[in-house]
C-alpha cells in the first residue's frame, strides 16, 4: 500500500550544519519521500557563545540553511530557535554565572522576537541539561527554563523541550511547570521522547518520538498528538547520529508496505499534531 495521497511526511526535529552535509542531507530526505522539516538551531562554532551577537548569527545561520534547503530541494522548513540549555555550563565557566544567565535571557528574548516576526515557529530547544549539574547551575537552568516558557507564552508559540528522559512523574512535573507560568500544555513538546506512555500519563505534554522501529510500532497505537523525529545532528564526527535524516520517510514507507492497517495512523504525527500544536496546515483538506 502506498503512503496516502496528500499526506505530508514530517521530521519534527533535526539539525543541519554548514560544516556538515547541510542541503545534501535534505536532498536525501526528499528523495526518500520527506516533505517538511522542523530545523532546530545549534551552536555552529563548538565554542561557548559569549554575547548576544553570537546568538543572532547562530539564528541567522539556521535561517539561511532553511532557505537554502527549501530553494534547492523543495522541502518546506520551519525554523525553531533558542539558546541551547547546556550552553549555560560553558558560559558560566567563561563569563561567570550571572553574566551567563543574562546572556541566556537575552537570547531567549531575541528568539521570541523572531517568532513574532514570523522568522521562527517555536522556541527550542529549551529546558534543562539532560545530566546532573551542581546546585547553583541547576537552579539557574530551572529558572531559565521557566523564563523560556514565559517568552514562548508571550510570543504565542510552542516550546520544544530538551531534558532528561521522562516517565509519568516527569511528564507531570513538566506540566506543572507550564501551569505555573500559564503556558498551555498542549503547546509544550518533549523532544527526543523514547518512552511511549499512554495519553493520560502525558498530561497534555506532546511527545516527539525518536523514529526507531520499536518506538514507532509502539506509538502508532497511541492517540495523538505526537510527532516523529530523527534528531539528526549533521556532525561529521558522528555520521548518521542520532538517526539519518532519511529515516522518517523510510519508516513511513515501511509502515505503508508491511502494515497497511496502520498507515492511517501516520496522519497523527504528520498532519494532526502539526495543526494542533503549531496551527500549521500542511495537508490540503487533511485526512480523507
pLDDT digits (tens, 9 = 90+) for 130-188: 888 888 999 999 999 999 999 999 999 999 999 989 999 999 999 999 999 999 989 99
Q: pLDDT tens for residues 189-222?
A: 999 999 999 989 999 999 999 999 999 999 999 9
Cα radius of gyration rounded to whole Å, the chain: 18
Contact between 11 and 37 under an 8 Å Cβ cutoff? The reply is yes
Q: Tell me, what's the pLDDT at 286?
A: 57
Q: Distance between CA atoms of 72 and 89, rounded to whole angstroms?
A: 37
Residue 37, φ and ψ in degrees, nearest 5: -125, 140
Say which residue, 132 or 123, is predicted with more confidence: 123
Beta-strand pair 206-210/188-193: parallel
User: Does 69 score more than 70 pLDDT?
Assistant: yes
Contact between 127 and 161 under an 8 Å Cβ cutoff? The reply is yes
Q: Distance between CA atoms of 123 and 116, rounded to whole angstroms?
A: 11
Domains along the chain with CATH numbers: 10-278 (3.20.20.140)
Mean pLDDT score across all residues of the chain = 95
Q: Distance between CA atoms of 30 and 44, rounded to whole angstroms?
A: 24
Of 195, 177, 245, 239, the C-alpha closest to 36 is: 245
Q: Tell me, what's the pLDDT at 254?
A: 95
Confidence of residue 2 (pLDDT cuts 50, 70, 90): confident
How many C-alpha atoms does 37 have within 13 Å on its Cβ side? Answer: 35
In what order do the strands lie in the sheet containing 188-193? 10-14, 36-40, 76-81, 122-127, 159-162, 188-193, 206-210, 227-229
- For 48, 160, 232, the CA distances from 140, given in Å and listed in that order, are 17, 19, 28
Confidence of residue 129 (pLDDT cuts 50, 70, 90): confident
Structure-block grid coordinates of residue 96: 561567570
Alpha helices in 198-246 (DSSP H): 213-219
Angle at 43 between CA 242 and CA 46, to 5 degrees: 90
Which residues are CB-neighbours of 286 under 8 A, at least 6 positions away? 267, 271, 272, 275
Q: Distance between CA atoms of 87 and 257, rounded to whole angstroms?
A: 42
End-to-end CA distance of the chain: 16
Amino acid at each position: 500500500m502506498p503512503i496516502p495521497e496528500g499526506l505530508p511526511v514530517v521530521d519534527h526535529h533535526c539539525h543541519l550544519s554548514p560544516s556538515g552535509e547541510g542541503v545534501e542531507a535534505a536532498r536525501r530526505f526528499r528523495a526518500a519521500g520527506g516533505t517538511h522539516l522542523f530545523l532546530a538551531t545549534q551552536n555552529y562554532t563548538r565554542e561557548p557563545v559569549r554575547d548576544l551577537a553570537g546568538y543572532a548569527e547562530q539564528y541567522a545561520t539556521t535561517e539561511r540553511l532553511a532557505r537554502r534547503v527549501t530553494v534547492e530541494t523543495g522541502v518546506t522548513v520551519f525554523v525553531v530557535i533558542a539558546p541551547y540549555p547546556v550552553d549555560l555550563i560553558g558560559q558560566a565557566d567563561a563569563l561567570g554565572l550571572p553574566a551567563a544567565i543574562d546572556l541566556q535571557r537575552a537570547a531567549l528574548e531575541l528568539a521570541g522576537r523572531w517568532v513574532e516576526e514570523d522568522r521562527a515557529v517555536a522556541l527550542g530547544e529549551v529546558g534543562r541539561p539532560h545530566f546532573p549539574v551542581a546546585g547553583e547551575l541547576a537552579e539557574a537552568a530551572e529558572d531559565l527554563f521557566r523564563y523560556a516558557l514565559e517568552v514562548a507564552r508571550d510570543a504565542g508559540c510552542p516550546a520544544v523541550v530538551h531534558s532528561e528522559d521522562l516517565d509519568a512523574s516527569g511528564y507531570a512535573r513538566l506540566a506543572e511547570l507550564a501551569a505555573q507560568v500559564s503556558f498551555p500544555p498542549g503547546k509544550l513538546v518533549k523532544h527526543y521522547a523514547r518512552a511511549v506512555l499512554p495519553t493520560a500519563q502525558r498530561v497534555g505534554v506532546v511527545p516527539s518520538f525518536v523514529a526507531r522501529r520499536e518506538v514507532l510500532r509502539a506509538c502508532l497505537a497511541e492517540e495523538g498528538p505526537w510527532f516523529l523525529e530523527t534528531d539528526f545532528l549533521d556532525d561529521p564526527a558522528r555520521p548518521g547520529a542520532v538517526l539519518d535524516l532519511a529515516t522518517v520517510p523510510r519508516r513511513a514507507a515501511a509502515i505503508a508496505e508491511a502494515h497497511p492497517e496502520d498507515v492511517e495512523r501516520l496522519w497523527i504525527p504528520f498532519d494532526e499534531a502539526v495543526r494542533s500544536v503549531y496551527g500549521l496546515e500542511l495537508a490540503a483538506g487533511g485526512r480523507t
